[in-house]
Amino acid sequence: MALFRGAGVALVTPFHADGSVNYDKLAELVEEQIAGGTDAIIACGTTGEAATMSEEEHMDVIRFIIKAVNHRIPVIAGTGSNCTATAIDLSKQSEEAGADGVLLVTPYYNKATQGGLIQHYEAVAGAISLPCILYNVPSRTGVTIQPETMAYLYQHVENIIGVKDATGNISMITKLMSLVDEDFLLFSGDDDQIVPLLSVGASGVISVLSNVAPRETHEICQKWFDGDIKGAREAQFKAYPLIKALFAEVNPIPVKAALNLMGKNVGSLRLPMTEATDSTKALLKDEMTKYGIL
């Protein structure tokens, strides 16, 4: 049930000046990502500003991306919610629209217990047949899927196939990988930890960096898979300063600024997200120039 191996882009959502979705630009971004070697597109995740979209908009963007990609690479729909019923509804609609899988963030704000997380994910996954990747990002949601909980869900729910891990906790990730089998899909949720997670069995990354450097992010993973450990490590080190710049402010503030610096014209952000500061833009310009993409 492997969805993809390598670097999947957590795609930004471009907006017009009035805040509406710029679908012409979104189509361009999809084509650029595919041409750049991206292994999968994640629609309406954190980087895509799904939290500021209505449910109707959310699904419109997912459907548009699925149609634009047209089966060339997998499309994984971000359909998680702090409301189980909403997550089920978005997941069902995404399955009907032709998504290849769903990404399910932990229910934010509610601070569910581990038992609550199990019941939530059993309900969502049980309502669809699509492969489900859970998203563990406690810095944003206030709740952590513990390794034992993740292993239980993987072992007892057929279409829960893995996790995007943005805990930054290598010890916890290593424990998780000791509890599951080799078919479990671990994706790094932090671009600065791609190689460290590959070393414990990850299948790749769901990446912010890929928005500005799709080929290079893919190559970090591919070098590792090809046995070029030194090359993968050097590529990770080379990208590190740019990755830090892309997180100089809360994601996706810097990556949208970076894309605009590249002339992509993806527009602004929706409140409560704000424009990057001048100092962040200057840092991005400097690091992107050093990296060779500006």
Radius of gyration of the CA atoms of the chain, in A:
18
For residues 32 and 51, what is the distance between their CA atoms, to the nearest angstrom? Answer: 25
For residues 294 and 289, what is the distance between their CA atoms, to the nearest angstrom? Answer: 5
Bond from prior residue into 196 cis (ω within 30 degrees of 0): no
Q: Which of 135, 152, 154, 291 is catalytic?
A: 135
Whether 163 and 187 have beta carbons less than 8 Å apart is answered as yes
Strand partners, 7: 205
Q: Quickly tell me which residue has 């049980």 as its tokens.
A: 126
Whether 223 is catalytic is no
Q: Which amino acid is at 111?
A: K
Q: Is 244 buried (19+), middle (13-18) or exposed (0-12) by CB count in 10 A?
A: middle
Strand partners, 135: 105, 164
Q: Which of 152, 154, 164, 256 is catalytic?
A: 164
For residues 99 and 109, what is the distance between their CA atoms, to the nearest angstrom? Answer: 27
Strand partners, 75: 41
Whether 290 is catalytic is no
Element (H, E) at 177: helix 170-179
Catalytic residues: 135, 164
